[in-house]
Amino acid sequence: MPEQHYEPEPALAGAAAGGAVDLDVVEARTPERRPQGPDGSGPRGKPRSLWSDAWRDLRRNPVFLVSALVILFLVLISLWPSAITSGSPLTCDLSKAQEGSRAGHPFGFDGQGCDVYTRTVYGARTSVAVGVLATLGVAVLGSVLGALAGFLGGAWDSVLSRVTDVFFAIPVVLGGLVLLSVVTSDTVWPVIGFIVLLGWPQISRIARSAVITARQNDYVQAARALGASRSRLVLRHIAPNAVAPVIVVATIALGTYIALEATLSYLGVGLKPPSVSWGIDISAASPYIRNAPHALLWPSGALAVTVLAFIMLGDAVRDALDPKLR
């Protein structure tokens, strides 16, 4: 086998002879190689975060994709119900009461002669509005109170914990029957206010525990030692690392709040006619379940699918944001 000879690079030849290395020449002749990740998909130098890893996992999770598509469809028909129906939910004809499906009315008619399809579509607007607004109110109020209790501790934590225990002792449905029975408004705001009033303790407990865990980390202690103010510690170091459990619980609770609104409306203390709600339609169709089961089936099915979609979304978000499950 012939002997092979290699000529050294001019820049390295000087180093072999005891001279200096010309770094400009070496860098110009050296091909650029960026370190790749374990799967070769990107550079290792790029910082990774909990949120980027969670989003990557969510995009690969079929449960998240299916639930997100269902929720997106619900949001769209809540904003623009006229896109899939041209009727009015308040237009009724008693001559068509309890009739089955026909051309232009695929879900049939209820006991008052109202189009079940149109009322089911418009009922999504009420349920989504109550669920989203109540969840935002609960998340903001519960997160603020829980974060203050977990960060300040002492007497504030003790007082808030006892107040939270008092609210936990109130049965939700019984409390709704008592508090909402004296309200005469037919808007969604009394129901939203009631849900926020009794829903914040759960988020508060979660936020308190997350803040207590986060404030004991080394980076928080280092920031405190460097003289960071309390507001900076909470906003820059503790809150970003304690918000994940709150998001998970709030997402799952959103479906629960939608079911709670339907329950209160079914009992007659939530939304009231002429408001359009799945709970109102289920209550009105219950006496005619034998003669017109379709009037009960469609709003009940829409409610079940909506609640299931939000619960599935919350489970997917929990799996993505919990590093222990990876």
Residue-wise pLDDT for 215-239, tens only, equals 877 777 787 788 777 777 777 778 7
- Which residue range(s) make up the domain with 122? 53-325
User: Which residue bears the tokens 């007082």?
Assistant: 159
Give yes or no for a contact between 160 and 149, defined as CB atoms under 8 angstroms apart.
yes
- Residue 326 pLDDT greater than 60, yes or no: no
Query: 304-309 — which CB contacts under 8 Å span 24+ positions?
Result: 305/70, 306/70, 306/74, 306/124, 306/127, 306/128, 306/255, 306/258, 307/255, 307/256, 307/258, 307/259, 308/255, 309/66, 309/67, 309/70, 309/71, 309/74, 309/255
Q: Residue 39: CB partners within 8 Å, gap ≥ 6?
A: none
Query: Within a domain: residue 41?
Result: no
Query: Within a domain: residue 153?
Result: yes
Query: Within a domain: residue 9?
Result: no
What predicted TM-score, i.e. pTM, was given to this entire model?
Answer: 0.79
Least confidently predicted of 38-42, 92-96, 271-275: 38-42
Q: pLDDT at position 107, please?
A: 92
Query: Within a domain: residue 46?
Result: no
Model confidence pLDDT, tens digit, residues 292-306:
899 999 999 999 999
Q: pLDDT at position 33, please?
A: 44
Query: Within a domain: residue 21?
Result: no
Higher pLDDT, 52 or 161: 161
- Residue 186 pLDDT greater than 70, yes or no: yes
Least confidently predicted of 108-117, 193-202, 206-215, 301-310: 206-215
Q: What is the CATH number of the domain that holds 89?
A: 1.10.3720.10
- Which of 10-19, 34-43, 187-196 reaches the highest mean pLDDT? 187-196
Hey, what are 173's tokens? Answer: 């449905």
Return d(Cα 125, Cα 82) in angstroms, integer: 12
Count: domains in the chain:
1
Model confidence pLDDT, tens digit, residues 41-68:
444 545 666 677 778 888 888 999 999 9
Query: Within a domain: residue 47?
Result: no
% of the chain surpassing 90 pLDDT: 35
Query: Within a domain: residue 1?
Result: no
Q: pLDDT-derived band of residue 137, with 50, 70 and 90 as boundaries? A: very high
Query: Within a domain: residue 277?
Result: yes
